[in-house]
Amino acid sequence: MKVLDRSVCALVTLTATLILLQGCEKSQPTANAPEPAPVSAVEVRLNPSGPLVIVTAVSEFDLTPRGYVQAFLLRDGQRLTLDDPADAAGSSATIAGKHVHDFAFDLNRPAISAVTGKLGALGKRIDVTGHSASSGLDETLSVEVYDDFPTMALVTAVVRNAS
C-alpha cells in the first residue's frame, strides 16, 4: 500500500505542478489597440489644365474653373451624363439689376476636409475661392460628397462684397 500511496501522491503532485505551470504560461492580455479611424472613399483629383474631379465608386463630379459642377454616372468604364455645360457659369449674382456671372475659381488650391453634415459620417468637402473681375465680388464654392450618397453632390455658394 505504501507504493500505491506514493504513486497517488506523485500523481497529485505532478498534476498540481502542471496546473501551476500552465497558469504561468498564460500571456498578459494585450492592451486593446485602437481601431484605425474610417477613411472616406471619396477621392479628389487635381487637374492643372482642366476641371477638379471628385470621384466616388459610382460617379464623378467635374468642377470647372467657372464654378459649374457637371455630374457623371460611371457604367462599364464610361462616364455617362445628361448634362451639357458648354460654357455655363456655375453661379451668378445680381447687383443693382446687373447679372454677374464671370466668377473665376482657383482650382489648384482647394481646401479639402472631412464632411461635418448630417448625411453621413464619411465624405469630403471641397472649398474653392473665386473672384468676379467685373464686380469685385468674391465667392467661396463648397462641394460636399458623402460616402453614403455617392451619386449626389451638395453645392453651396457664398458671395461676399469685399470692397
pLDDT at position 2 = 53
Q: Which residue's entry shows cell 497529485?
A: 12
CA proximity to 71, closest of 88, 54, 93, 87: 54
Q: How far is CA 33 from the centre of its chain?
A: 24
Q: What is the pLDDT of residues 116-147, one digit of tens each?
A: 878 998 999 999 999 999 899 999 999 999 99
Low-confidence ranges of the chain (pLDDT < 70): 1-31, 85-87
Place of cell 488650391: 109
87: amino acid identity, one letter = D
The pLDDT of residue 151 is 95
Across 7-51, the runs of DSSP E, i.e. the strands, are 43-45
Query: Given this model, what pLDDT does residue 54 score?
Result: 97
- 62's grid cell: 467635374
- What 25-33 contacts at long range (C-beta under 8 Å, 24+ apart), as own/partner pairs, is none
Domains belonging to the chain, first-starting first, are: 43-161 (2.70.98.60)
DSSP state, 151? E
DSSP state of 36: P
Is residue 112 within 8 Å of residue 128, measured between CB atoms? no
pLDDT at 36: 86
